[in-house]
Amino acid sequence: MSDKAWHGPLDRIDDCRWKIPRSYKHGMHTDGLIYADDEMIKQVVTDNAPEQVANVAFLPGIVGRSMAMPDIHWGYGFPIGGCAATDPEEGGVVSPGGVGYDINCGVRLVRTRLTEDQVRRDLRGLVSKLFATVPCGVGKSGHIRFSHDEERKLVAEGARYVVRRGYGRAEDLDHTEANGCLDGADPDVVSHRAYERGAGQCGTLGSGNHFVEVQVVDEVYDQAAAEAFGLGVGSVTVMIHSGSRGFGYQICDEYVNSLVKAAQKYQIGLPDRQLACAPVNSPEGQRYLGAMRCAANYAWANRQALMHLVRLAFEEFFQSSPAALGMDLIYDVAHNIAKMEKHAVGGRERTLCVHRKGATRAFPPGHPEVPAEYRHLGQPVIIPGDMGRASYLLVGTQKAMEESFGTTCHGAGRVMSRTQAIKSAHGRDVARRLADQGIVVRGTDWKGLAEEQPAAYKDVNHVVEVVHRAGLSRKVCRMRPLGVIKG
């Protein structure tokens, strides 16, 4: 979080949209747009993240507006919750700051045939089983190991590779964004150090805001859509949130430094060094994209392997196969990524580099990249909240496709830095307070739980209501947490 408030201009467009006019700073190529209602905008301006929205508007080749979703907060270069598209044919750039350090941090949602009563019979035992099965924590290595040559195949093929190795089912890939693999990944442009950091971390949760959460559907807003996803009030689901671990972090770190030089080489004037970038079609831009795609593929492989471990834990705990338990993947979406996508702009289709930094793809009904059985509804959009409130399943809309390049929010968004959250806990037992709400939580240490306490986040119910009212995604159902494991 930034330690200063923002005092720039904001023009109210409607109940859910605020404009930062292009005239605010010389060099902005377009307006900024923040999605927030009257109440939320008061919190948004206590952080300086709107300044980052304005700064992103300086990027060469930017198309449409520089946007931020209602979960906006201060990030590296781009704000968290930021979205921007650039046109390579007009000198459009790619910026690691528009993707983030945890490349393809994302979330997947698994349904089950279990009921809340069945899970609550020994909820603490189930959470302990998950905690024992899924490796959690900083730098933690797992039991799923690959040689260096195998790791190169993994980062080229993504989730497909680990499914082929027996960690999942073919239909899992059909329910994963991009089928779990971005084409164009180039293992040769990834450093030896990145491979070292990624070794042994596939199938591990990591730390920070990553989690595995057992949930129950407690409210349905669209009965037909919920039924199409195999859900109803009382359905038990499992949500998995993780990314590319040390592998992706190392790639981002190295390429941020190299693209600072590239920006200088191509004489790109930027208001913030953290927006280091290169033209998409330049050698430097292509090398970054090749490495970033490797990290994105690693993250999809990681979440696929994590789901395999979750299925194993449930199988052992309930003494029933994952198939008998109905443990099917509903969908997996990326939150931190830059992708080449076709969008209609100015009456013609253009191939754009869409940066989503703490933002979720939300493609509409009928889009060919939406799984066939969901195509009449739109792409599933999964929005995790904090471990004390709720998470949501929504669907993408045509409005999002027309206005935000098919993008919506990605979560609740922080209102406290991790340091502030630890201080605010004052030694109180976060796990005990959650237990008073009927939520069982396990973490590697009390500081990690304090960092991720509900008070550190905006109310996800409010955030989701804004994107629903703005038409960027449409609510299907809400899931309440029952048990959580954290790194």
Give the CATH number of the domain where residue 165 resides: 3.90.1860.10
H or E element: which one contains 421?
A: helix 418-425
Which strands make up the sheet holding 336-345, listed edge to edge? 11-14, 17-20, 32-35, 62-73, 80-86, 348-357, 336-345
**Whether the predicted pLDDT of 53 surpasses 50:** yes
Query: What is the pLDDT, as a whole number, of residue 139?
Result: 67
Mean pLDDT of 342-359: 96
pLDDT, one tens digit per residue, over 171-183 is 999 999 999 999 9
Is 165 part of any domain? yes
Query: What is the pLDDT, as a whole number, of residue 57?
Result: 98
**Whether the predicted pLDDT of 83 surpasses 80:** yes
Q: Look up the domain containing 224 and give its range.
A: 11-486
Query: What is the pLDDT, as a whole number, of residue 427?
Result: 47
**Whether the predicted pLDDT of 344 surpasses 70:** yes
Is 5 part of any domain? no
Is 250 part of any domain? yes
pLDDT, one tens digit per residue, over 355-373 is 999 999 999 999 999 999 9
Query: What is the pLDDT, as a whole number, of residue 428?
Result: 56
Could you give the CA distance from residue 365 to residue 369 in angstroms, rounded to a whole number? 10
* Inter-residue contact 34 to 53 (CB < 8 Å): yes
Query: What is the pLDDT, as a whole number, of residue 452?
Result: 78
Is 1 part of any domain? no
Out of 107-116, 204-213, 265-274, 333-342, which region has the weakest mean confidence (pLDDT)?
204-213
Mean pLDDT of 20-49: 97
Query: What is the pLDDT, as a whole number, of residue 14?
Result: 97
pLDDT, one tens digit per residue, over 97-113 is 999 999 999 999 999 99
Query: What is the pLDDT, as a whole number, of residue 448?
Result: 77
Is 134 part of any domain? yes
Of 123, 198, 19, nearest to 435 by C-alpha is 123
pLDDT, one tens digit per residue, over 425-481 is 654 578 888 888 889 999 887 777 878 787 878 899 999 999 999 999 999 999 999
Q: Which amino acid is at 255?
A: Y
**Whether the predicted pLDDT of 388 surpasses 50:** yes
Report CA-CA distances (Å) from 401 to 71, 86, 96, 362, 456: 19, 15, 23, 8, 31
What value does the mean pLDDT of the chain take?
94
Given the residues 410, 426, 462, 468, select the one marked as catalytic: 410
Is 6 part of any domain? no
Could you give the CA distance from residue 339 to residue 332 in angstroms, rounded to a whole number? 16
Say whether 7 is catalytic.
no
- For the chain, the domain total comes to 1
User: Hey, what are 395's tokens?
Assistant: 């669907």
DSSP per residue, 159-208: HHHHHHTTSS-HHHHHTBGGGG--TT--GGGS-HHHHHHHTT-TT---ST
Query: What is the pLDDT, as a whole number, of residue 431?
Result: 81
Percent of the chain with pLDDT over 70: 98
Could you give the CA distance from residue 472 to residue 381 in angstroms, rounded to a whole number? 10
pLDDT, one tens digit per residue, over 242-255 is 999 999 999 999 99
Q: What is the pLDDT confidence band of residue 256, given thresholds at 50, 70 and 90?
A: very high
- CB atoms under 10 Å from CB of 125, counted, come to 12
Give the position of tokens 């030089």: 261
Query: What is the pLDDT, as a whole number, of residue 52?
Result: 98
Query: What is the pLDDT, as a whole number, of residue 324?
Result: 98
Is 269 part of any domain? yes
Out of 281-290, 392-401, 450-459, which region has the weakest mean confidence (pLDDT)?
450-459
Could you give the CA distance from residue 394 to residue 161 in angstroms, rounded to a whole number? 29
Mean pLDDT of 65-87: 97
* Inter-residue contact 73 to 414 (CB < 8 Å): yes
Label the pairing between strands 473-486 and 440-442: parallel
* Inter-residue contact 404 to 83 (CB < 8 Å): yes
